[in-house]
Amino acid sequence: MPAIISEQFRILNAETFVKSFVGVGSTVNKYYAFLGLPNSIEPKAGGTSNWATDTPSPLDGFEEEYSIKESVIAMKKITDKDVRRLVRKVKWVAGTTYEMYRHDYNIYNLTPITSQGSLYEANYYIVNEDLKVYVCLQNGSDPENPKGRPSYDQPTFIDLEARAAGTSGDGYVWKYLYTIKPSEIVKFDSIEYIPVPESWGETGETIATKNNAIDGKIEVVVVNDRGASYQPISTSFANVPILGDGVDGKATITVDSFGKVSEVFVTDGGTGYTHGSIRFFPGAPGSESGGPLANLTNTGIGTTSVAQFNVIIPPKGGHGYDIYRELGAYRTLLYSRFETLETNPDIIEGNDFARVGIIKNPTVFGSDTELLDTSIVSGLKALKMGGLTTATTYAVDSEITQTVGVGSTAIGYVASWDKVTGVLKYYQPMGLASSATGYKVIPFTTNPDAGYGITISGSSVVGSLLSINTDFNGVSTSINNKTYQLGMNFSAGISSAEFNTKSGEVIYIDNRTAIPRSASQKEDIKIVLEF
């Protein structure tokens, strides 16, 4: 049985997804963007030796999900202020022929310029140089220009009613919808997409735009065939009724000196139309007066060919009523900015990341039920080292070890080393588990078996070996009268990851060539999801 998932279902999915985001303090859903995979060329860490030259496509499965969460460096919460619905960016450029809004595009009636089987893939709306968005209701289409004509007048007005933009006579009629706010440009503007306002019709200028919309109001009628031999010539016929399931729609039709229909204007759009037509027979009772049209078959005085028209049906509610349905907002953008903060240095510097993604509903460390609700969290583990830390260097991504018992050695990789504070952040990917470890990852500890110590060795340690400072507790340290925030809570010199790495659902994965992070660096992560 033939079946499809409709585009309206895609729009509904985008709406549902956006509305699932909540602000700080809610217990409904929590979403986090993350940076991950600090050692993309190490297979045991989840990478490949040729990652830089042949970055693999992400894998989607339960096994991969656990591995991905174990590779998280840091995560940042995404709130409802960080997500917007999107539509394609179609810029106005003088001399470009744009498509017009039509209700009848499908796979058997393709869009005239882009040859798409869907309105939403047509270039029927534009954003101008001032970030104002308009929908094209008429693009100069007529029998001689069935695909429309080039646009020469950039729309700049913010009137509630649709109209032409200038005096060139290009035939375009534009409907103003909204202006993209400067505050949303940084977060939500991109090369390919523009944001659509949230809470349409509830705030700002969108209230007036929505309230001005009239359900089933006809704005445009297109002439498909001009007909021939209409009489009398050079005459405008007013009050030609628009037939259909709506009421009060009327048009004015002009016959030129050759007896052909030269133009048609909607003089009253009426209300309630979901289908419509015009039958223009001058001389037949009611065709130009608005009277009864029953049994109207007369071609009119002298008419040899009857003109044909296409009545364009507006979206449900009218133009400007539901911006998401009118523009096809089935894409969303999620924004997150990662930067090094002295107040919370969870986002490390001096190492790479080769993966970004989104995790839904992670829980706090040590819990399977309590949802994480912290702005920035670390996915790494950490050791607070004692001794003269400034004289020792642990190279990033090098191996560190601690012998904790007979035949039992904790192994990890260095994520970052701060010789000033003595904080060694590390990760222990699933790939470190083997038969030698009993197929588990052995943790670093301050309580090794008798006869074994808390010294941390490594393959690339420069300087003296250091030991875990078991006397240190807390989230900050004071050195030379300066307080340093550590971003993690240490107990006896050890800190766990700040979220339960076995929790949450990975809903987006993006593998990329490794990107190094420096102290002054900021990453604006913009993730576009298409439903």
Q: Of 411, 428, 378, 418, nearest to 394 (Cα)?
A: 418
Q: What is the reported pLDDT for 25?
A: 54
Mean model confidence pLDDT for the chain: 92
Q: What is the reported pLDDT for 296?
A: 41
Q: What is the reported pLDDT for 432?
A: 87
Rounded CA gap, 282 and 307, in Å?
A: 11
CATH 2.60.340.10 in the chain, residues?
7-83+333-378+500-530
Backbone φ and ψ for 499, nearest 5 degrees, come out as -140, 160
| pLDDT < 70 stretches in the chain | 23-27, 282-303
Radius of gyration of the chain (CA): 33
CATH 3.40.50.720 assigned to 7-83+333-378+500-530: no
Rounded CA gap, 397 and 413, in Å?
A: 5
Q: Of 357, 371, 368, nearest to 507 (Cα)?
A: 357
Contact in structure between 499 and 364 (CB atoms under 8 Å): yes
Residue 317 gets the label, from left (phi > 0), alpha (psi -120 to 50) or beta, of left
Q: Of 436, 462, 493, nearest to 44 (Cα)?
A: 436
Q: Give per-residue pLDDT as tens, 473-510.
A: 999 999 999 999 999 999 999 999 999 999 999 999 99
Q: For the whole model, what pTM was predicted? A: 0.87
Q: What is the reported pLDDT for 479?
A: 93
Contact in structure between 288 and 298 (CB atoms under 8 Å): no
Strands 466-467 and 482-490: unpaired
DSSP track, 343-404? S-TTS--SSEEEEEEEEES-BBTT-SSSB---SEEE-SEEEEB-S-GGG-EE-TT-EEEEEE
Rounded CA gap, 15 and 33, in Å?
A: 20
Contact in structure between 319 and 326 (CB atoms under 8 Å): yes
Q: Give per-residue pLDDT as tens, 393-417.
A: 999 999 999 999 998 999 999 999 9
